[in-house]
Structure 1
Amino acid sequence: MTPIKEIGEFVLADQVKEYFFRPSFMNMARIGEPEEIVRAFHDLFNDEATTLMHRAIKAYTAGNKVRLPEYVLTYLMSGILTRKAIMAAHLVLSACCDDDISELIGWMKPGRTGRRAFVWRPGAIPLQNIVVLAQGLMLHGIIGKAKIRKLQRHESNDTTPGFRATDYIMAARNHFGISRDEAENLTMTEFILMLNAKYPNQKGFTREEYDAVMDDDDRRWAEMVEREQRT
């Protein structure tokens, strides 16, 4: 299958086969519960290197200039990653591919008796690259990388406790009249691009308009479920 990079799909290959990755709504749901998806996103984009960079800049800022010592720069550029970021990246990549990719991204194995409970066995891809790939999948899967005005659901400053993939699957079925399988295979980027195509002149929803659309989606979804139960 040929990947469409613009919507987040890509292929990795080793000497044996190719591995297809798609950050679809269904694959985002495979990461875990809505709260676990948000936690994985946080772990990927809030690694130790980022935190240390902010601390170093604050500590070595004089006036409008930042002068980081050479040893600090060397440490920050060494590719340090937290265990949480690595595990989140492993989870995201595994969820977005239907094949066993342990040879690519590594795996855990039981340690020797009396020592560590588990030992990490690295795969063919460096850990730094694994995290970058997982970050791209999450951006296309739950944020969307397409030009669109920030819609009502993103206008609040409140943090999102969880990502409910089913909400977007239902909305896609209602808005575009597609099957459940088609809706589940959409990425967030693809979903936004489809909205842009259907509503080319829209400038984003007001609060009232957004609430009305979501209420209408709920009504149509309830009617769809009722029809399917009757058949």
Structure 2
Amino acid sequence: MIRVDIGEILIKQRLKGFLSDKNIEFKLTPSFENISKIGDSEQIIDIYSTLVNNRHMQLLQSFNKSMNKLVTKEIKTHIKRQEKLASLVIDCCCDEDASELALSSDTKINIAISLLKYGISGHANIRVSQRNEVKQYQPKFDVNQYISNARVHLGLSLNDAMRLTMTEYIILMANKYPDNDGFTAKEYDSVMDAYEKRRAERLKTYQ
């Protein structure tokens, strides 16, 4: 069973063999265990930043004709690095031999970005109050710390904790420890918008 909601991806491909074709499934899971294979705590963040910040690809697609050769070459070099890192991320998140995957450069990078978002930053629709929002840049991603937290607070075994993705971890922790510490950013904006509308209506009555 594929859990798309926690970041798992299933890729099906038909590969041509010498005597006959065969269908192969590649299951990608951005679990703590697999994310840890990417590199150390600082390397993980560096790879995340390089792939998720896809500004170079957007610039190349939008302004390729108008940019000078030097800038274009620099951007293409960056994209090649992105593709190499994307292959690393996919390899680490796949139990099968991912080298057999036939993917375009864009597809490979987009899949890796999705794996990193679900596996590192988390992609969960939960309630987070303004005062508990994490807005600072995090220079490290300590996988072992999250695994330990999951074992202590969620009562999971080491193996079960290692199999969590960051998205699933956030959801489970939010269910156990709901955040009721004030307004969320969206709730605050909604309250202020309503206040400004009421204020504008009151001012009209005095005109």
Distance (Å, rounded) in 1 between the aligned partners of 2:89 and 2:176: 30
> Which residue does the alignment assign to 1:127?
105
CA apart distance, 1:10 = 1.3
Distance (Å, rounded) in 2 between the aligned partners of 1:204 and 1:173: 25
Q: Does 1:155 align with 2:163?
A: no
Distance (Å, rounded) in 2 between the aligned partners of 1:126 and 1:23: 20
- Percent identity (aligned): 31
Q: Residues 209-231 of structure 1, C-alpha deviation per residue, up to 9 Å, x if partnerless?
A: xxxxxxxxxxxxxxxxxxxxxxx
SS at match of 1:3: coil
Q: TM-score, normalised by structure 1?
A: 0.63
Match runs of 1:1-231 below 5 Å: 2-15=1-14, 16=22, 17-47=24-54, 48-50=56-58, 71=65, 82-104=79-101, 124-148=102-126, 149=128, 155-157=134-136, 159-199=137-177, 201-203=178-180
SS at match of 1:14: strand
Distance (Å, rounded) in 1 between the aligned partners of 2:173 and 2:146: 12
| Distance change in 2, residues 1:51/1:185 (3 Å) | same
CA apart distance, 1:87 = 1.2
SS at match of 2:86: helix
- Whichever of the two has the greater Rg, that structure is 2
Distance (Å, rounded) in 2 between the aligned partners of 1:19 and 1:204: 42
> Which residue does the alignment assign to 1:113?
none
Residues 34 and 93 of structure 2 are in contact (CA less than 8 Å); yes or no, is this contact kept in structure 1? yes
Instruction: Give the AA of the match of 1:98.
Output: D
| Distance change in 2, residues 1:129/1:175 (3 Å) | same
Structure 1 runs (4+) deviating above 6 angstroms are: 150-153
Structure with the higher helix share, 1 or 2: 2
Residues 31 and 162 of structure 2 are in contact (CA less than 8 Å); yes or no, is this contact kept in structure 1? yes
Q: Residues 14-46 of structure 1, C-alpha deviation per residue, up to 9 Å, x if partnerless?
A: 223211110001111000111110111111023
Distance (Å, rounded) in 2 between the aligned partners of 1:70 and 1:27: 36
User: Unaligned stretches of 5+ in structure 1?
Assistant: 57-68, 105-123, 206-231
Instruction: Count residues in correspondence.
Output: 165
Q: TM-score, normalised by structure 2?
A: 0.70
SS at match of 1:19: strand
